[in-house]
Structure 1
Amino acid sequence: MKAVSIRVFGEPDGMAVIDVPPPRPAAGQVLIEVGTIGVGGVDAVIRRGTLSGYGFREGFIPGSEVAGQVVAAGDGVDASWIGRSVWAFTGTGGAYAELAVARVEDVTPLPEGLSPIDAVALGSAGPVAHFALAHGRISSGESLLVRGAAGSIGIMAVQLAALGGSGAIAVTTSSPERGKRLRELGATVVLDRAGNGGTAPVDGFDVILDVVGGQQMPSFLDRLADNGRMVAVGVVGGHPPADFGMELLRTFQRSRSFATFSLNTVPTSERNRIRAEQFAAAAEGNLHAVVHDVLPLADAAEAHRRMDAGEVFGRIVLTF
């Protein structure tokens, strides 16, 4: 089968389409004929070699979410899954391929009215945004800043916060055009990437959801209100300075806090429940998947080039 492999960590050109043996479903797994693949920020982080210390090796097939049709089932899996259209989490890799395997507990059926393209724009990002907001203990009327709002997680966080009755919903983004689109999705204050601009206060936020990380993270900690909470859900801009926590100690008396969040800490049954609810809401038009472009699998490197250049609003989807 065709798959995309990371031959050399670093630039997007280090990826190539290769022929590999098709996977077989082990006990508790299903085999999926892939129709669409979600291209996520973590894919780019892995490709750059940033996480090479976590066991990733050259030859790795990236990607973690697909939509397609179940074509085989491993031992212990109900045969009624075969033939169903599903979204699936494939683990830390293996999605950039014609066939992929997933644990049956990591598979969610697609409701009628939801396209496979929209499914891979929502399937991971939606639950991450939902549980990250919950991790920040945001409540109705509290103010929120989403740092890096143009990605799929940020876009979902904006929509969910608006639906949940948050107060001011500020976003950082790179252009007025993106700011306009984020306002249409529920943002009320648009700031530049440094967190400046807008017509409302640019600090004193109850919750900051940070997808970016990077060297500027300490300056955003200082935008928290008393008892404010920052939740980091990604480091697409690189790791923060090693001493970034000193900003919290410097303002000790303001009781600010910092936390990380990974969907890995949420029970699978809860992830699936929220994902199914969000899929149903999207099928009914109450949540909106934002797809930047749909490209063939052979253009995976181009998808990563666009992400590296900061051109992507929403998610790029690979297809066959």
Structure 2
Amino acid sequence: MRAVELHTAGEPPTVVDRDDPTPASGEVLIQVTAAPITPLDLLCASGRSYFGVPRTPYVPGVQGVGTVDGRAVWFPLSAGMAPGDGSMAGAAAVPEADLVTLPADVQPTEVAALGLSAIAAFMALTWRGELAAGETVVVLGAGGVVGQAAVQLARLHGAARVVGAARSHAGQQRALAAGADAVVELDVDDPDDVAELADRLGAAAEGPVDLVLDPLFGIPAAAALRCLRAGGRLVNLGGSADERCPLDSSTIRSRSLHLLGYTNNALTRDQKVEAMQVVAGHSAAGRLSVAHEVVPLEDAADAWRRQASGETAGRLVLVP
């Protein structure tokens, strides 16, 4: 089979010939139909993640879509986080217990593009953020894959108004295409601008905000906190803008705000399966999608470079 192989942490992978993997006890052989290149793949392959330097050579890919026994499945893997190979190949050996059977009419590349990002958006909104019907939601980083999914999922699961915030014009347009009622430009870099951004977010929300989904942290999170109603919640999924945030103690205390952290790693196997079933169901019904580009596996090295440098308008999905 053809496979993407990473030989040195921090360097781009190459495409090579490999033998099909041999499933261990409890595993099955999946014929891969789509494998996305995600920020987690890049982070693990860099050797700078908290998982440590990966054992090389290995096939990257922490998730994928494929077929086994005539059925379409989505599957997660721990490539780069633990010894073993991932999804960026013609076939992958996957623990059978981790497989999620997909609806028969689902598009493999659509589900691959959504994948763990949509699981994170869904669970951060519903499980961690306790989204309730009729609430107002602000999605920071709404032009990214997590953000696009969150805008749609918030609406699908009861939000009355959804505001997307993104830095670039293209990101704002993706948020609008996902169904945001309004978008706000994230164009601040100075902590002194927090109040001004908070005013713009509040105006777009047309009232107090109940829930903020935050994959950015930094100044955007500090501004969004100021828009929350008493008892409002901010769920943080990452620090794409900054690992530090100029929070006001008085803002947090005066409104008894809830600051919540989220990671997919905290999910049980059953939670992950159930979340993907929801995501796949929405995808199959045409209610959930994100911007993505399908790339032949043979072009994986260039696609990897493009994803790492941000030279793409959406998730890149490899097709063997």
TM-score normalised by length of structure 2: 0.82
Distance 1:281 1:215, change over 3 A: closer
What secondary structure does 1:35 align onto? strand
What secondary structure does 1:274 align onto? helix
What secondary structure does 2:28 align onto? strand
Name the residue aligned to 1:316: 316
> Can you list the C-alpha shifts for 1:70-110, whole angstroms capped at 9, x where unaligned?
2xxxxxxxxxxx33322211234511222212111211223
Name the residue aligned to 1:302: 302
* Percent identity (aligned): 30
Distance 1:277 1:165 in 2: 15
Distance 2:95 2:155 in 1: 33
Name the residue aligned to 1:79: none
Name the residue aligned to 2:228: 224
Distance 1:149 1:296, change over 3 A: same
Q: Aligned partner of 2:317: which letter?
A: V
Alignment of 1:120 onto 2:112: yes
Distance 1:108 1:291 in 2: 23
CA RMSD of aligned residues (A): 2.9
Distance 1:246 1:193, change over 3 A: closer
Q: Aligned partner of 1:68: which letter?
A: G
Q: Aligned partner of 2:166: which letter?
A: T
Pick the aligned partner of 1:153 from 146, 159, 183.
Answer: 146
Distance 1:278 1:122 in 2: 8
Alignment of 1:282 onto 2:283: yes
Name the residue aligned to 1:272: 273
Name the residue aligned to 1:254: 255
Distance 1:142 1:33, change over 3 A: same
Which stretch shows the higher mean deviation, 53-62 or 117-126? 53-62
Which structure 1 segments of 5+ residues have no match?
Answer: 71-81
Q: Aligned partner of 1:123: which letter?
A: G
Name the residue aligned to 1:292: 292
Name the residue aligned to 2:121: 129
Name the residue aligned to 2:133: 140
1:136, 1:230 within 8 Å by CA — same for their partners in 2?
A: yes
Name the residue aligned to 2:63: 65
Once the two structures are TM-superposed, the CA of residue 240 in structure 1 deviates from its matched residue by 0.8
Distance 1:215 1:305 in 2: 28
Distance 2:156 2:250 in 1: 34
Distance 1:247 1:101, change over 3 A: farther
Distance 1:312 1:14, change over 3 A: closer
Once the two structures are TM-superposed, the CA of residue 133 in structure 1 deviates from its matched residue by 0.3
What secondary structure does 1:38 align onto? strand
Once the two structures are TM-superposed, the CA of residue 206 in structure 1 deviates from its matched residue by 2.1
Name the residue aligned to 1:85: 72
Name the residue aligned to 2:192: none
Name the residue aligned to 1:73: none
Q: Aligned partner of 1:299: which letter?
A: D
Name the residue aligned to 2:168: 175
Once the two structures are TM-superposed, the CA of residue 59 in structure 1 deviates from its matched residue by 3.1
2:143, 2:170 within 8 Å by CA — same for their partners in 1?
A: no
Distance 1:18 1:217 in 2: 43
What secondary structure does 1:200 align onto? helix
> Can you list the C-alpha shifts for 1:7-64, whole angstroms capped at 9, x where unaligned?
3444xx5322234443211121111121210222212222344305535345343211
Distance 2:256 2:212 in 1: 15
1:291, 1:316 within 8 Å by CA — same for their partners in 2?
A: no
Distance 1:47 1:68, change over 3 A: same
Which stretch shows the higher mean deviation, 308-317 or 91-100? 308-317
